[in-house]
Amino acid sequence: MKRERRLAAAAVVVFGALMAPGVVSRLAGAGVKLPNLDLRETKLDNGLRVILAPDHSAPVYAINVTYNVGSRNERPGRTGFAHLFEHMMFQGSENVGKGEHFILLLNNGGEMNGTTNEDRTNYFEELPKNQLDLGLFLESDRMRALAITQANLDNQRSTVQEERRTNLDNQPYGHAYLDIDNLSFDNFAYKHSTIGSMTDLNAASLQDVTDFFRIYYAPSNAVLTLVGDFDPDDALAKVKKYFGPVPAQPAPPKVDLAEEPHYGERSETIYDPLARLPQVILAYHIPPGNTPDNYAAQELSIILGEGESSRLYQHLVKDKQLAAEAETQADSRIGPSLFYVIATPRPGAKVEDLEKGVDEEIEAVAKNGVTAEELAKAKTQLLRRFIDQRRSCLNTANLIGRYAVYFGEPDLINTIVDREDAVTLDQINAAAKKYFVRDQRAVVVTLPAANEASGANGAGE
């Protein structure tokens, strides 16, 4: 990581250089190259970390501000608050009216959003390069002086509750997505959902908003990333002008994310009045993101359940015709993470048969491992995805913000492919054996309930 100013060195990195011996990288052989991003990092006096990454390929630029706060920081009785607060950041600040943020960015050719997950909250926008001041002004004004009113809180509480209904309560399987994490974790930080319960959302007060802003929206608890078509000296001067006056605040308290080992499988059945087909979700515990075994888990997920050549698709959807869909996904959190398996039986197939089929596939990987060819294929797919993610300045800025806040390593934007490539066959197979343990997993089965039945809607919230 370069912390000093450095003029563009036009360095080019060749991927695959760190592949394990014996696994020849098709990509290195093919000479695939990706331009290295030259990151310049500065810290303002108020503690705000600033990362500048010039990229002159299009006349645009992107800003990402990632705050090191997510639902993991919430306390019991206030689930959903970090996300509700994120909505409040669009309700105006000292020099920006309610709704004006949307209006100013989108009517000047921009694209924007804000998102919250368990680990972080981010705010981002991309604009034509002649609007550099606009984006910096808007982000700094709300970091410095958020306008907080009861009417806006009530309005966004309603909006967030609608978000929950739209994405979860009025959709099939909505509660299964919440319950699988609820079962998987004992530590409150990751156990509860980011969207929160309706009761807790109702309980959120104006004082909560003021306190949360003071505690967590400190400049020293955020990373500002700029990617795109700007002169770095000019951009840094503007950053100092807009963000310099944001007052420093003490660092927020840390959250303990440690999860004690589990013994015994945890399971739950949901009778869902909105589902027309059953669904099975499994979750296995895996280590935090940016660790060698988490990278191995990412690759295991591709091999098992991402893409049509994956084992679950070829064996369960095609050969055995048990599933209509069968996919996996490996988390990459700041803390303990999860490896999910989601499968839907084909119409007419029994859920128990599908569960058994999934178990056989997972156990086969744990017992016999994967092949060198499968691992090479997974690495190629990861590389391709990563290249696509690097296409837009906005995505690139979002990734850098994530790497900086999650792992303290913004330069992962240049090196993550090497970390992925460093996973060896022995390591991935040892990881499969270590983490695919029935005793430490959670299972949520959803069954369609007749519409008249008042089926249980899940235990989570």
Partner 1 sequence: MSERRGEMMMKSLRVFSKAGHKALQAVMLVALVTAGASVARAQDKSTPLSKVERLNRAPVNKEILRVQLPRPTVVKLKNGLTLVLLENHKLPTISFALRIRPGQLADPRDLPGLASFTADMLREGTERRTSAQIAEEVDSLGASLEASSNFGTSYTTVSASGLVNDAPQILDLMSDVVLRPAFPAAELAQYKQRAEADLEQNLANPGFLAQQAFRRVLYGEPPLSISSPTKESIEKVTTDDLKSFHAQHYCPGNTLLGAAGDFKTEDMRALIEKYFGAWTGAAEPVTAMPPMATPAAAKITLVDRPASVQTYIIGGDRGIKRTDPDYYALVVMNQVLGGGPQSRLFLDLREEHGYTYGTYSGINADLYPGFWRAFAPVRTPVTDGSMTQFVYEFKRINDQSVPDAELDDARRAIVARFALSLEEPSEMLQDWLTTQYFGLPADYWDKYPDHVAAVDPAAVQAAAKKYVDLGHMQWICVGDRKQIQDLLAKYGSVSVVDAEGKPEN
Q: Report how far residue 405's alpha carbon sits from residue 69's, in angstroms, rounded to the nearest whole number.
A: 9
DSSP one-letter code for 270 = E
Contact between 222 and partner 1 per CB under 8 A: no
**At its nearest, how many Å lie between partner 1 and the CB of residue 155?**
4
155-174 residues near partner 1, rule: CB under 8 A: 155-163, 165-172
* 244: its two tokens: 């310099």
What CA–CA distances, in Å, run from 194 to 77, 109, 177, 239, 385? 13, 31, 11, 31, 26
Interface with partner 1 (CB under 8 A), residue from 16, 19, 25, 27: 27
Whole-angstrom Cα distance, residue 413 to residue 2? 13
Residue 80 has which token pair? 């959903």
**83 neighbors 192 (Cβ within 8 angstroms):** no
Q: Which is nearer to partner 1, 111 or 411 (CB)?
A: 111
**Which two tokens mark 32?**
């695939």
* Residue that the structure tokens 């002004």 belong to: 137
Separation of alpha carbons 196 and 156, rounded Å: 14
With CB under 8 A as the contact rule, the residue among 249, 314, 427, 440 that binds partner 1 is 314
Nearer of residues 30 and 459 to partner 1, judged by Cβ:
30
Q: Is 390 in the site for partner 1 (CB under 8 A)?
A: yes
Contact 52, 231 (CB under 8 A): no
Nearer to partner 1, 122 or 424 (CB): 122
Site for partner 1 in 414-453 (CB under 8 A): 451
Q: Does 288 contact partner 1 by CB under 8 A?
A: no
Minimum CB distance to partner 1, residue 447 (Å): 13
Scan residues 341-380 and list those touching partner 1 (CB under 8 A).
Answer: 342, 344, 346-348, 377, 380
Residues 324-343 interacting with partner 1 (rule: CB under 8 A): 324-325, 327, 329, 331-332, 340, 342
Q: Which residues pair with 35 in a beta bridge?
A: 12
Per CB under 8 A, 52 contacts partner 1: no
Selected binder of partner 1 within 25, 66, 116, 184 (CB under 8 A):
116
Q: Does an H or E element contain 40, and which?
A: strand 40-43
Residue (257 or 430) nearer to partner 1, CB = 257
Under the binding rule (CB under 8 A), the answer on residue 34 touching partner 1 is yes
